[in-house]
Amino acid sequence: MKEYDIQKHLWENKETWRDFIEDIKFPDKYDFLKTEGSIYERTPDKVFFNEVIDRYIQIYEGVKDLQLVGCEVPLKKSGDSTIRADLLGTADSCIAIIEIKKSAQTERQAYTELFAYASHLQAIFPTMSTEDIHYVLISPMEERIVREASIYSFLFDEKPVFAFIPIYENNDAKTLKLKPWIPKIEDIIKVTEAAFSLKNFDVFKVAWEEIEGWNAIKRENNPSEKVVARMNRISTYAAQLMETKRVHGFVYTCQGYPEAPLLNNAIVVAGLNPYKIAKDYYLIQELQLKPQKLDSVSDESINLLQIIPELKNKAEEIIEENEHFYNLIVEWSNTIAGIAFDTVRLMTTNDKELNVERGWGGMSWKQYQANILEDVNVFNYDIKATGLLRRLWAIYSQQDYEYVTKHGSDMHPYLHHGDFPNFLVDSFNEQRYFREFLYSIFESYKDVLDEFDDSKERPL
The pLDDT tens digits for 58-76 are 999 999 999 999 998 886 6
Residue 86: beta bridge partners? none
Given this model, what pLDDT does residue 158 score?
86
Rounded CA separation 180/161 (Å): 12
Lowest mean pLDDT among 91-95, 342-346, 404-408: 91-95
Examine the pLDDT at 357 and tell me if it is beyond 90.
no
Examine the pLDDT at 211 and tell me if it is beyond 80.
no
Q: Which of 183-197, 220-234, 343-357, 426-440 has the highest mean pLDDT?
A: 426-440
Given this model, what pLDDT does residue 87 score?
94
Given this model, what pLDDT does residue 371 score?
79
Rounded CA separation 369/341 (Å): 21
- What average pLDDT does this structure show over 252-277? 86
CA dihedral 426→445→367→218, nearest 10 degrees, is: 30
Rounded CA separation 231/383 (Å): 11
Report helix, strand or coil for 399: helix
For Cα atoms 113, 92, 157, give the angle at the middle one, nearest 5 degrees: 40
Give the neighbor-by-neighbor strand order of the sheet with 378-385: 358-364, 201-208, 265-272, 249-256, 378-385
Residue 161: beta bridge partners? 135
Examine the pLDDT at 454 and tell me if it is beyond 60.
no
Rounded CA separation 388/422 (Å): 26
What angle, 0 to 180 degrees and rounded to 10, lies between the N-to-C axes of helices 444-451 and 431-442? Answer: 40
Instruction: List the one residue out of 173, 188, 189 whose CA is nearest residue 9.
Output: 173
The pLDDT tens digits for 360-400 are 888 888 888 887 677 888 899 999 999 999 999 999 999 99
Q: Which residue has better confidence, 158 or 89?
A: 89
Run of H or E residues at 372: helix 372-375
The pLDDT tens digits for 302-324 are 988 888 887 777 666 666 666 78
> How many DSSP H helices and E strands does the chain contain?
18, 11
Q: Which residue has better confidence, 148 or 13?
A: 13
Percentage of the chain exceeding pLDDT 70: 89
Average of per-residue pLDDT values in the chain: 86
Rounded CA separation 166/164 (Å): 6
Examine the pLDDT at 43 and tell me if it is beyond 50.
yes
Rounded CA separation 67/96 (Å): 9
Residues 413 and 273 sit within 8 Å (Cβ to Cβ): no
Examine the pLDDT at 261 and tell me if it is beyond 90.
no
Residue 203: beta bridge partners? 270, 363
Examine the pLDDT at 345 and tell me if it is beyond 60.
yes
Rounded CA separation 274/21 (Å): 36
Residues 6 or more apart from 387 whose CB is under 8 A from it?
156, 242, 243, 246, 247, 248, 249
Given this model, what pLDDT does residue 460 score?
32
Examine the pLDDT at 215 and tell me if it is beyond 70.
no
Rounded CA separation 42/399 (Å): 10
Rounded CA separation 389/392 (Å): 5
Q: How many CB atoms lie within 10 A of CB 77?
A: 9
Run of H or E residues at 272: strand 265-272
Instruction: List the one residue out of 19, 14, 178 whose CA is nearest residue 88.
Output: 14
Handedness of CA 385, 388, 391, 397 (dihedral sign): negative
In 273-389, the DSSP E strands lie at 358-364, 378-385
- What average pLDDT does this structure show over 329-335? 94
Given this model, what pLDDT does residue 451 score?
45
> What Rg value do the Cα atoms of the chain yield, rounded?
25
